Amino acid sequence: MFATALALLVVGVFWFNWNSNAVSEEPTPTPVPPFLQKHTFGQSVAGRAIEGYEIGRGTEVILMLGSIHGNEMGTTDLLTQLIEEVIASPSLVSKNKKLVVIPMANPDGFIDRIDKSNANGVNLNLNFPTAKWEHYGSGGTYAGPEPFSEPESRIIRDVVERYQPAALIAFHARGALVSPELSDVSKKLSSWYAAKSGYDYYDEWDYFGTATRWFEETTGRPSTTVELTKYLESDWRINQPALMELIGGLKISEL
């Protein structure tokens, strides 16, 4: 898994930033392709850079998040592999598409913890303001003192406001399933992704405070949670068919 992640050195010294508290604004050592922009969207609680990639110039934006739970490392590897594929073959991204990819939304959790939380002990995927919200419990279910109390969740909010995505796909582990939010458009996206990947379609979760629930309630656009089969593996071959269509000619509005 980490062999793939290390390859991101060519587009942004990603591994250095994962393992340090420094936030580097220095140019990358290898030229970044013109269709790809690297951004530092902000810093984690511990001051680590939260980085992302803007790929393509189209008007239909798809936002993809990995490792909002730090112990779900395979999600970072999956999105790293997607970036590598696009760098190798830029034509994979349709002219009408723009991808905004944050492979590691919770770097402190990824590096320093063995549970779902950030450096403050908050489960970031319960820290978003939704119609229903509560503190939940302790440990991995603590949602924080209030919605958007954490810099990492505020960064996701700001990215959504900046790019106005047509859809949000949040990658998690482990469940081998695709779980929609409540709307018909979210269910259509999730059903389509499940069919393409072979993951189970599972619509019985009803968590509030999540990034996907907040996105749907705020924008009215589709959002889904894709659960990989294992914490430490990317499931690249399973997800590849759906991801290739999503970044290609498929229009979210036509699902």
Question: Which positions are annotated as active-site residues?
Answer: 227
Per-residue tokens: 173:
């582990």
Rg (CA), the chain: 17
Contact, 166 vs 187, CB < 8 A? no
d(CA 172, CA 168) in angstroms, rounded, equals 13
Whole-angstrom Cα distance, residue 136 to residue 146? 11
Q: Helices (H) and strands (E) in the chain — how many of each? A: 9, 8
The owner of tokens 């003192």 is 145
Classified as helix, coil or strand, 51 is strand
Query: Measuring CA to CA, which residue among 76, 23, 12 is closest to residue 48?
Result: 23
